[in-house]
Structure 1
Amino acid sequence: MTDVSGISHLLETQVSSEDMVRGSFLHARRDIVSLPDGNHATREYVVHPGAVMVVPLLEIPGQDLRVVLERQYRYPVQRVMIEFPAGKLDAGESTAHCAQRELFEETGYRASEWSKAGVIHPVIAYSTEFIEVWFAKGLVAGERKLDKGEFLDVFTATANELIAWCLDGRVTDTKTVAAALWLQGYQAGTWKPVWSSSTAN
């Protein structure tokens, strides 16, 4: 439960709620809320089940740290985007299982060690979506199993290349830009992941 001490003057309270759209993927709602000053306002937002993103590390002794990335066309922005592997949670699925599943299905890689980095909320103004960020290493390549209608390229880049692409605007995907912060910390030794085997998650 959220601790509201000291922030109660900022909270909004739901008065009523209704469905706007309930599609195969998107579920949009419209709520009437009571504001801190007692007035009412409308809040429209997308209900999302949550997702995971995986930062797959290729660590080869004597070489620069590399990461596994994807290129995928994203229709809403009409662009091919550079991203880390990611996907939404299935009903009842744990985030750890989702991370392992998405990494294998999209890239063909399996990992022997995993570490949960944290959680990001990519679009707080209009969505309930959260993305849990996982790092993976000890990668073994295999044959990927893309969903029907899914088309993407898998490639690798050095961690420093990815960070530079985030800084110069070549990478604009929110979750991937956010992961670059953890990646910088990992390289600098200021963020130290706690690794565990994939079977322990």
Structure 2
Amino acid sequence: MAEGPITKTLASTVVYRNPWMTVREDRVERPDGSRGIYGVVDKPDFALIIPAEDDGFHLVQEYRYPVGRRTWSFPQGGVAGVDDPREMAAVELAEETGLRAAVWEHLGRVDSSHGTSSQGCHVFLATGLTRGEARREHTEQDMVHEWVPRAGFEGMIRRGEVTDDASLAAYLLLLLRERHGIG
């Protein structure tokens, strides 16, 4: 398997920037000498938490502007000024659900939209949960938090009610850990 970059970056231009992301256009040269461009969205990594108890999971639902509808997912997000994925996970879990976890297990990291974005997702299993008050950001004012049994969660996936790629990938990491000790 080839290691390292096989496509050479000839030039990189930032075409858009805001506090949450940078969009750049890179002129590239492929191994065969042909040239082209890549549009890349650079965003910091985020944390996703699988809050598990009683053979079920705590989920959140909110309106997602880019897809124009409400969606269910595991709690997730990034925290400005926080680079440690585990710390970010604890902040996001408490903020979105009010839950605190006594036990944290890092299940892995997955790339988000790796064909267009540099962003990654750190997946954590959170257990030993205690309840507290959620402290959502203003942009999360419509968020709903609900516990769902595992069978119900899998039914939601089959019915297309959970379509968030990070949540689906996180659940696969959990299943691999449970079935094969991987994670």
TM-score (norm 2): 0.92
Name stretches of at least 5 consecutive residues in structure 2 with no aligned partner.
none
Deviation at 1:92, TM superposition (A): 4.7
Partner of 2:104: 114
Cα shift readout 1:145-193 (whole Å, capped 9, x = no counterpart): 111232200001012221222233221110111122133345x543366
Partner of 2:51: 56
**2:33 is the counterpart of 1:38:** yes
Structure 1 distance, partners of 2:32, 2:180, is: 43
Cα shift readout 1:80-128 (whole Å, capped 9, x = no counterpart): 0000000024335200100000000110000000000001112011110
- Aligned sequence identity (%): 26
| 2:92 alignment partner, SS class | helix
Q: Once superposed, what is the RMSD of the aligned Cα atoms?
A: 1.8
In the TM superposition, 1:116-195 aligns within 5 A as 116-151=106-141, 152-186=143-177, 188-191=178-181
Tell whether the 8 Å contact from 1:22 to 1:28 is kept in structure 2 after alignment. yes
Match of 1:81 among 48, 71, 92: 71
| 1:149 alignment partner, SS class | helix
Cα shift readout 1:49-99 (whole Å, capped 9, x = no counterpart): 11010000113xxxxx01100011001111100000000243352001000
Deviation at 1:16, TM superposition (A): 0.6
Tell me: CA distance 1:159–1:185, structure 2 relative to 1, closer, same or farther (3 Å): farther
Partner of 1:3: none
Tell whether the 8 Å contact from 1:159 to 1:183 is kept in structure 2 after alignment. no
Structure 1 distance, partners of 2:3, 2:49, is: 35
**2:105 is the counterpart of 1:105:** no
Partner of 1:20: 15
Deviates more, 1:163-172 or 1:129-138: 163-172
Partner of 1:62: none
Tell me: CA distance 1:161–1:183, structure 2 relative to 1, closer, same or farther (3 Å): farther
Tell whether the 8 Å contact from 2:107 to 2:174 is kept in structure 1 after alignment. no
Query: 4+ residue runs of structure 1 moved beyond 6 angstroms?
Result: none
Report the number of matched residues.
Answer: 182
Tell me: CA distance 1:92–1:153, structure 2 relative to 1, closer, same or farther (3 Å): closer
Partner of 1:198: none
| 1:96 alignment partner, SS class | helix
Deviation at 1:136, TM superposition (A): 0.3
Tell whether the 8 Å contact from 1:70 to 1:85 is kept in structure 2 after alignment. yes
Partner of 1:197: none
